[in-house]
A and B are shown apart, each in its own frame.
Chain A
Amino acid sequence: MLHATTAARALTAAGLTLALTLAACSQEDAPTADGTPAQATTAQLPAGVMLEQAPANAMPVAQVKASAAEGDAVTVVGRIGGRRQPMTQGRAAFIIMDNNVPSCADNPDDNCPTPWDYCCETPDTIAANSASIQIVDDQGNPIAIDLAAAGFSPLDEVVVVGTVAERPSDAVLIIKATNIYKRAG
């Protein structure tokens, strides 16, 4: 007759082994912190788009958003962010936030896994201090590359040179960028 203690130990060991195995199996395709699958490929922007030095007279996002009109040539500085997924997958486009707005990462007590979503700020603050950047080709269409694969990350500070696109409302600021500078660090 099988001893009851031995049976209990066997059951417990079997259950734990299975739990570990199943938990390990469920870890496949684990997403990165921002919810996107990890990208193994690399990409590069066309030659001449990336600038070696920061352009002069860059303006904050909020200032441009408050004053720019369609067709204006602008130079804007800001940080990539503003929502959980600030960079478009498969297109050279992203959202930037005004440098004067602190991200969750600027708060040492904040352990937010996606600090670039600026969830610490109100929606109105995010709306007033954000802009959409599209790095375009000669035809004005967003370049079809994934900026994450090209070395850009959320909270990177960038300076963008481009032209203001159509503004269906004051809350929309789309900049068709021809050049971009990424600050190191």
Chain B
Amino acid sequence: MRQLPFQYAFRNLGRSPSRLAASLVGSALVVLLALAAGGFVRGMQLTLTPQAGPLAGEYENIILLGTGSEEALERSQIDAAAATIAAASIPGIREIAGTPFVSPEINVALPVRTGPQDEPRQAVIRGVTSTALLVHPEVEITQGRPPRTGENELMAGALAATRLGLPDERLAVGKTLYLDGRDWTITGRFAAPATVMEAELWMPLTNLQIATRREGTISSVVVTLPARDPDDPASGGFADAELFATSRLDLEIAAIPERDYYASIAAFYQPIRIMVIITAILIGAGGLLGGLNTMYAAFAARVREVGALQAMGYTRAAVALSLVEESTFAAACGSIIACLLGLTLLDGLAVRFSMGAFALTLDAPVLLAAIAAGLAVGLIGALPPAIRCLRLPIPEALKAH
């Protein structure tokens, strides 16, 4: 088959600047939509799925929480002594310099204000001890210092401002938040990328126990144990943690791997992710159909040209290929423009949800899927109009207006 040179398709793009602009904008919008939807889904998925750290496969966190609260840590209440008892009873807990990786924690949602008379905003607050930084190695203090026990101090995560609906600078080190009838000074900021902790406020466990009037109880104990082989339930430390939980019925605790806990929450949000994807696809399909209409009009105006090419000896397939090249090239350019815009405007954009906040994540899979969507728009958008345009017999095509 004798093919039309690629330059033919490339030069035809400039014949109608307005039509080229329409194609670029159309495909760019479809790709931007795909990036936004993909970034949303990916960001939520990464936040709710504990990512493999440098010790993945060697250690894992096990959460000891109240029975019946396996789906919501905020509802869990266990005896504060459970942390000490667990540390003494569960074999194989990871430790460094004699410090076991056992972190008693309180997870609670409380209203905070920027001032005594301001509107309350719901914050997710975690009461911790110093061992929390051992158990959660993904948490990194980026500014200031941890809050001190006995002082009205707290530390804010990088997305805590988004969670509260405040500008980020409002939670700068040195600023205050109003909680439990008094001002609390922000002494530090921390980052915990792709985790729900990044949207939290952290304060000393004792301070939060006093603020919430629960001196004798905590929400959970997080322990770091040898990781379990997924194919061998008897391996790893989880079996020992669960054995401890089922032996000490007086503590009324259950053991769940941290990964499984967040997986169950991620499953809860699965319908939302599906709806976002379906919405993006339907809107994208609408954009595609709009592009189809544009292409129909564009090719209808070139029927005589197409007839002339056939009269010169080019087959219908060769002409169709050239038309598709033209459309796909314009769509590819639109895709690149959209990717640049998306990476600049959307990547890292914080989104608030009930668990806290997460950032839109435009990583390689998302970019690839969006570009593929853009190219598909160019390909599918050109084929039906091209086929329709080529249906006419050559004499009729040459006489068309």
User: Footprint of B on A, CB under 8 Å?
Assistant: 1-2, 7, 10-11, 14-15, 18-19, 22-23, 26, 35, 39, 82-86, 88-91, 93-95, 119, 123, 127, 130-132, 134, 142, 144-146, 168-169, 171-174
* A contact residues around B278 at 8 Å (CB): 15, 18-19, 22
**CB distance A174 to B247 under 8 Å?**
yes
A83 partner, pick from B67, B228, B236, beta carbons under 8 A: B67
* A contact residues around B234 at 8 Å (CB): 90-91, 144-146
Give 8 new A-B contacts, CB below 8 A, not counting A123-B252, A145-B234.
A14-B281, A15-B278, A86-B246, A88-B243, A90-B235, A127-B250, A146-B234, A173-B249
A172 partner, pick from B240, B247, B270, B274, beta carbons under 8 A: B247
Q: How close is B106's CB to chain A, nearest CB, in angstroms?
A: 21
Q: How far is the CA of A131 from the CA of B250 in the complex (A)?
A: 10
**CB distance B247 to A134 under 8 Å?**
yes
Q: How close is B42's CB to chain A, nearest CB, in angstroms?
A: 15
Q: Indicate the member of B232, B233, B238 with the most A CB atoms within 10 Å.
A: B233
**CB distance B282 to A11 under 8 Å?**
yes
The closest CB in chain B to the CB of A23 belongs to B274
Interface residues of B in 247-289 (CB under 8 A from A): 247-250, 252, 254, 264, 270, 274, 277-278, 281-282, 285-286, 289
Q: How close is A1's CB to chain B, nearest CB, in angstroms?
A: 6
Query: Assuming A2-B293, A22-B274, A123-B252, is B239 touching A89 (CB within 8 A)?
Result: yes
Q: Does B30 contact A (CB under 8 A)?
A: no
User: Footprint of A on B, CB under 8 Å?
Assistant: 67-68, 70, 228, 232-236, 238-240, 242-243, 246-250, 252, 254, 264, 270, 274, 277-278, 281-282, 285-286, 289, 292-293, 296
* B contact residues around A18 at 8 Å (CB): 277-278, 281
Q: How close is B225's CB to chain A, nearest CB, in angstroms?
A: 12
Q: Indicate the member of A7, A86, A130, A146 with the most B CB atoms within 10 Å.
A: A7
The total number of A-B Cβ pairs within 8 Å is 103
* B contact residues around A89 at 8 Å (CB): 233, 238-239, 242
* A contact residues around B293 at 8 Å (CB): 1-2
Q: Indicate the member of A14, A83, A86, A119 with the most B CB atoms within 10 Å.
A: A83
Q: How close is B293's CB to chain A, nearest CB, in angstroms?
A: 6
The closest CB in chain B to the CB of A145 belongs to B234
Q: How close is B68's CB to chain A, nearest CB, in angstroms?
A: 7
Q: How far is the CA of A14 from the CA of B235 in the complex (A)?
A: 46
A11 partner, pick from B235, B242, B286, beta carbons under 8 A: B286
Q: How far is the CA of A131 from the CA of B236 in the complex (A)?
A: 25
Q: How close is A170's CB to chain B, nearest CB, in angstroms?
A: 8
Q: How close is A109's CB to chain B, nearest CB, in angstroms?
A: 22
Sample of 16 A–B contacts (CB below 8 Å): A7-B289, A14-B282, A22-B278, A26-B274, A83-B67, A83-B246, A84-B67, A84-B70, A90-B239, A90-B242, A91-B243, A127-B249, A132-B247, A144-B239, A171-B250, A172-B248
Q: How far is the CA of A30 from the CA of B49 in the complex (A)?
A: 17
* B contact residues around A26 at 8 Å (CB): 270, 274
* B contact residues around A39 at 8 Å (CB): 233
Q: How far is the CA of A138 from the CA of B277 in the complex (A)?
A: 57
Q: How close is B157's CB to chain A, nearest CB, in angstroms?
A: 29
Q: How far is the CA of A18 from the CA of B283 in the complex (A)?
A: 13
The closest CB in chain B to the CB of A89 belongs to B233
**CB distance A11 to B249 under 8 Å?**
no
**CB distance B282 to A15 under 8 Å?**
yes
Q: How far is the CA of A82 from the CA of B252 in the complex (A)?
A: 11
